[in-house]
Chain A
Amino acid sequence: MIRLEPRLAPSRIWSFLAPLAAVGATLVGGSIIFSLLGKNPIDVLLTIFWSPLFDPNMSAYARPQLLVKATPLILIAAGLAVGFKAGIWNIGAEGQYIMGAIAGGAVALAFYPAEAWFIFPLMVAAGALGGVAWAMIPAALKIRFNTNEILVSLMLVYIAAQFLAAVSLGALRNPEGSGFPGSRNLQYYDSASNPELLAGTGVHWGGMAAVAALACLYLLMRRHIMGFHLRLAGESPRAARFSGARPALLVAFCLGVSGGLAGLAGLFELAGPSGQISIDFNVGYGFTAIIVAFLGRLNPIGILLAGLLVALTYIGGEMAQFMLGLPRSAIQAFQGMLLFFLLAMDLFLHYRIVFRTGAKA
């Protein structure tokens, strides 16, 4: 008989091993799927993990694209990590990402076609505020009525998506777009665009913000009393209260930070790689960032690496599609397995397996 027994304290070894073991198990599970599809699993794995980095034709372009793809993931995950540490679960970063982009984009379009240095900073501020404002809804409801922030923040994603569709067709639609949905393309509007800071590097202002966010995450968690309260709240809410933490403040802070960073991610993506507010502007970074945060153990370095790894599976996955003819759903299953195995491995952090023979009392 096999039983799971709670550990007194999380296993230290497993807390390091779990992400690595999950990646390993994903590679094995993925290989099985790829073989069943009649592909050589080694070829597929090499295409996903090796080609974007080292293929002579593709890597020069793909490497910077890794940073482009990882930037919003890392930026959002850094914010989510703050709340997740404290047991405050913002699942609606996707919605905050959308609202940040809309707020920032609206500022840009309001000034169009004026050129001025202050437009972009204003957009950044509006983007962050848009995300914060959207995150304050679940925060306020939780503080005032003790609603579940997981549900509220998640539901608000769908409202944000509807709002996105509405402004793409209405208020922010490109008046010169022949009646098609979607705003003007900010890539063609100098004062509002967020181009690569150094051409060909894939680093735009969002990348800078992501690095800054990770640094702040480290300082907050390790060097600031707020970080202490957050960690304590996650581990022992009662103890946190005795140490002087104010639960309402923690809720507002966690949702505000994660919402703000998600909003920033949306704004930088809008003004940079994406360019346009359109009905399909959001592509799931807010949800994928949850995987990134957990895969990175809510730790700044971990999030950086996890963001790059997940970005690699996206870009390598596309290459596997057009170089090997692998269907996209196989890639998605492969990515999904990563979270699945990570959660499975996390079990061993908190529980140990006990083998028992015979009857028990």
Chain B
Amino acid sequence: MNFLRKIQLAASIAAAAALSLAAPAQADPLKVGFIYVGPVSDFGWTYEHDQGRLAIESALGDAVETTYVESVPEGADAERVLTQLALAGNELIFATSFGFMDPVINVAQKFPNVKFEHATGYKRADNVSVYSARFYEGRAVIGTIAGHMTKTNIIGYVASYPIPEVVRGINSAYIHAKKVNPDVEFKVVWVYTWFDPAKEADAATALIDQGADIIMQHTDSPAAMSIAEEKGLFAFGQASDMKQFGPNARLSSIIDDWGPYYVERAKAVLDGTWESEDAWHGINEGMVGIGEFSDKIPADVQAEAQAIADAISAGEYHPFTGPINRQDGSPWLAEGETADDGTLLGMNFYVEGLEGEVPN
């Protein structure tokens, strides 16, 4: 490094310091930035977050201006992109993957006037909110349908990472499938990725080879749905409805609807009422949507599934209601007892009856 370069660097340090201290001016319109872990064209997780971004645009019109950066690796790259979004004048930034957590906290410290919204994380600050959806509520509904619809009594589950979020979904789906079909068995394949259509398709194929006739997934692409369609079996839309990928295979879907929350938070920034929050919304608030039931599902099963969704929405039924034992047989919830959010948020164990182990 020569002397000139050192001078340049010194100048840029000074400039950076000045910039990070300067408050972003409250100029019209409000700039809202998004950082996505996958491509917006994944037709799943990231696609739905981008729909949420578009919902902000259509709801608030000229009052906002939104931008996004897609397929950002979690880690150092995320921290750079977040900083750049803040420097570019975004005053509200949505980081839509768990792995963006520490980068969000680091960048939020440097930009105290920028508001951050981090999906599915657990670290908060004065200018960092966390939000997530109670997807396990949706899993209870599709678990019920799957329990009724399976003929082989084997349900295949394409799982991403063994984090509480995913383990919770497996447990909820299993409990409700088992409730309506005592012979049901779950086979879980861990693919260690959120978005890799080839791997997801391989996993679905492997599960079908093991006798599964219904595929559930907790990954972001519609690959598993396509495989189910090809083999004439059933699957559920995940994150997005995915009907176009399995017109015959799709029984229903769990739809992430981020729009209402995103609009509300952007409005709060415009009104000056934004505060750091911990939001965990479900069917009731509309963050978890249940896709239209396929006409392949018998009417009585449809009615039963709808009743469960309604009861959850009304707060009359909790998907984790005792008696439920842990996989090792030790009691977890007593008769009538419901799980508290703390336990659910850190759930790293299977319930009784599931085979295999949570990878550790």
Q: Complex formed: what's the CA distance from A162 to B191 in Å?
A: 10
Q: How many residues of B contact A (CB 8 A)?
A: 48
| B67 nearest in chain A by CB position | A322
Chain A nearest Cβ from B116, distance in angstroms: 16
Do A319 and B84 touch across chains, with their CB atoms under 8 A apart? yes
Do B346 and A274 touch across chains, with their CB atoms under 8 A apart? no
A60 on the interface (CB 8 Å rule)? yes
Do A329 and B39 touch across chains, with their CB atoms under 8 A apart? yes
What string of 1s and 0s marks CB contacts (under 8 Å) between A264-292 and chain B?
A: 00000100111110111101000000000
Chain A nearest Cβ from B96, distance in angstroms: 14
Known A179-B346, A180-B163, A327-B70; judge A58-B12 contact (CB<8 A).
no
Chain A residues within an 8 Å CB radius of B77:
283
Q: Complex formed: what's the CA distance from A201 to B17 in Å?
A: 12
Among the 9-residue stretches A62-70, A146-154, A225-233, the one with 4 or more Cβ atoms under 8 Å from chain B is A62-70
B273 on the interface (CB 8 Å rule)? no
Chain B nearest Cβ from A168, distance in angstroms: 9
Known A58-B84, A61-B19; judge A321-B12 contact (CB<8 A).
no
| B6 nearest in chain A by CB position | A201
Interface centre among A181, A187, A325 (most CB of B within 10 A): A181
B348 on the interface (CB 8 Å rule)? yes
| A196 nearest in chain B by CB position | B13
Chain B residues within an 8 Å CB radius of A357:
none
B74 on the interface (CB 8 Å rule)? yes
What string of 1s and 0s marks CB contacts (under 8 Å) between B1-17 and chain A?
A: 10000001100110111
Chain B residues within an 8 Å CB radius of A199:
13
Do A273 and B85 touch across chains, with their CB atoms under 8 A apart? no
Chain A residues within an 8 Å CB radius of B88:
57-58, 322-323
Q: How many A-B residue pairs have CB under 8 A?
A: 124
Do B73 and A321 touch across chains, with their CB atoms under 8 A apart? no
B59 on the interface (CB 8 Å rule)? no
What string of 1s and 0s marks CB contacts (under 8 Å) between B176-196 and chain A?
A: 000000000000000010000
A60 interface neighbour in B19, B71, B76, B164, Cβ under 8 Å? B19
Chain A residues within an 8 Å CB radius of B12:
59-61, 63-64, 200
What string of 1s and 0s marks CB contacts (under 8 Å) between A110-141 and chain B?
A: 00000000000000000000000000000000
Do A63 and B76 touch across chains, with their CB atoms under 8 A apart? no
Q: Complex formed: what's the CA distance from A198 to B5 in Å?
A: 14
Chain B residues within an 8 Å CB radius of A280:
73-75, 99
Do B13 and A269 touch across chains, with their CB atoms under 8 A apart? no
Do A322 and B85 touch across chains, with their CB atoms under 8 A apart? yes
A185 interface neighbour in B33, B102, B345, B347, Cβ under 8 Å? B102
Chain A residues within an 8 Å CB radius of B8:
63
Considering only residues 39-81 of chain B, those with a C-beta below 8 Å from chain A are 39-40, 67-77, 79-81
B122 on the interface (CB 8 Å rule)? yes
B347 interface neighbour in A179, A322, A328, Cβ under 8 Å? A179
Q: Complex formed: what's the CA distance from A294 to B106 in Å?
A: 36
Chain A nearest Cβ from B341, distance in angstroms: 12
A165 on the interface (CB 8 Å rule)? yes
B262 on the interface (CB 8 Å rule)? no
| B71 nearest in chain A by CB position | A328
| A325 nearest in chain B by CB position | B67
What string of 1s and 0s marks CB contacts (under 8 Å) between B199-214 and chain A?
A: 0000000000000000
B98 on the interface (CB 8 Å rule)? yes
A283 interface neighbour in B17, B73, B89, Cβ under 8 Å? B73
Known A59-B12, A185-B102, A328-B39; judge A321-B83 contact (CB<8 A).
no
A169 on the interface (CB 8 Å rule)? yes
A175 on the interface (CB 8 Å rule)? no
Do A170 and B360 touch across chains, with their CB atoms under 8 A apart? yes
Chain B nearest Cβ from A47, distance in angstroms: 12
Q: Complex formed: what's the CA distance from A272 to B83 in Å?
A: 16
Do A200 and B69 touch across chains, with their CB atoms under 8 A apart? no
What string of 1s and 0s marks CB contacts (under 8 Å) between A11-31 and chain B?
A: 000000000000000000000
Do A273 and B122 touch across chains, with their CB atoms under 8 A apart? no
Chain B residues within an 8 Å CB radius of A86:
none
Q: Complex formed: what's the CA distance from A64 to B39 in Å?
A: 27
Interface centre among A60, A187, A279 (most CB of B within 10 A): A60
Do B74 and A278 touch across chains, with their CB atoms under 8 A apart? yes
B125 on the interface (CB 8 Å rule)? no
A94 on the interface (CB 8 Å rule)? no
Considering only residues 198-255 of chain B, those with a C-beta below 8 Å from chain A are none
**Seed contacts A275-B102, A328-B70; 20 additional CB < 8 Å A-B pairs:** A57-B19, A58-B88, A63-B9, A64-B9, A170-B359, A178-B346, A179-B164, A180-B98, A182-B99, A198-B9, A200-B13, A273-B76, A278-B74, A280-B99, A321-B68, A321-B70, A322-B33, A322-B68, A322-B84, A327-B40
10 tightest Cβ-Cβ pairs between the two chains A and B: A200-B13, A273-B76, A60-B15, A179-B348, A322-B67, A283-B73, A60-B16, A60-B12, A274-B75, A274-B76
Residues of B whose CB lies within 8 Å of any CB of A are: 1, 8-9, 12-13, 15-17, 19, 33, 39-40, 67-77, 79-81, 83-85, 87-89, 98-99, 102, 106, 122, 161-164, 192, 345-348, 359-360
